[in-house]
Amino acid sequence: MVTTVEEQAKLVEASKRLAAFQAVKDYLLPEYTRIGIGSGSTVVYVVDAIAALGPDVTSKMAFYPTGSQSEELIEAAGLNLQYISKLPAGKQLDVAFDGADEVDDDLNLIKGGGACLWQEKIVAASAKQFVCVADFRKLSARLGTAWKKGIPIEVLPMAAPRVLDELQRMGAQNPRIRPGLPGKAGAIVTDNGMWIIDAPFAPLLLSKDTGTGGQAGDGTNGTWAVDALADALIKIPGVAEIGLFYGKNGLQVASGAQKPVAAYF
Ligand code: 5RP
């Protein structure tokens, strides 16, 4: 039984590591040449697992980061760093690995706890397969129950007050502009010069919970389905991207990002 905070922290780290090594074993085939690397603390183990394959395997591969953190990880591991902006039109990554803040039963995700969600969605959308690597704390039946800080939304700073108004109208409970990192005054500024708003909504329904006999999921009484909420959020003027990575149809509408093919816990 886990009794102390230290023991719990150790368990979480062990879970992240296990998930990462398993995901790389299952989804990084030796013939792959272009690999997306996401952001966050779990991805550190993904890069460890890749580096452990050795240069015989990895020297033929190029690695595409989602921000400065994964860029540094790739370089520190001695892997070949490339940029998604240089990936020619018509080409795709073979696979992208990334973490998540919460994962529901349908493998819909909340992402953006590290404020890299826009680049993360672009890299995910550029990959044939998107593999979500997450420890056991991230799993929930419905998004909004495990990650309680809200859905991260990247916004143009000048639009932030209007976006906050609209989010409140849609039923978000106390949406807030994310503050800067400790010691930094003002709002957090993303790699794209944008701000992040964290918007907590009541736990989101899955599409299968809505429709005939189910709840509407269209925001009535503050109840949203994942896809309906994502569609509504991305249409708010001033919203650049949202931290909902969701089912196939919705993803095509919002960003083209693919549904994760696997999540490990
Ligand atoms: C960053 C992300 C991360 O993948 C997410 O926050 C998970 O991070 P961690 O692995 O540290 O729990 O979306 O924008």
Q: Is the ipTM of this complex over 0.85?
A: yes
pLDDT of residue 257: 45
* 105 — pLDDT class (breaks 50, 70, 90): confident
Q: Whose CA is nearest to atom 2 of ligand 1?
A: 112
Tokens 């918007």 identify what position? 199
pLDDT for residue 251 is more than 50: no
Task: Indicate the top mutation candidate among 46, 97, 111, 194 to test ligand 1's pocket, ranked by most ligand atoms within 8 A of CB.
Answer: 111
The yes-or-no verdict on residue 230 having pLDDT over 60 is yes
Residues 22 and 131: their CA atoms lie apart, in Å, by: 11
State how far the alpha carbon of 191 is from the alpha carbons of 55, 120, 136, in Å: 31, 12, 29
With 60 as the cut, is the pLDDT of residue 256 above it? no
How confident is the model over 51-75, as pLDDT tens digits?
A: 999 999 999 999 999 999 999 999 9
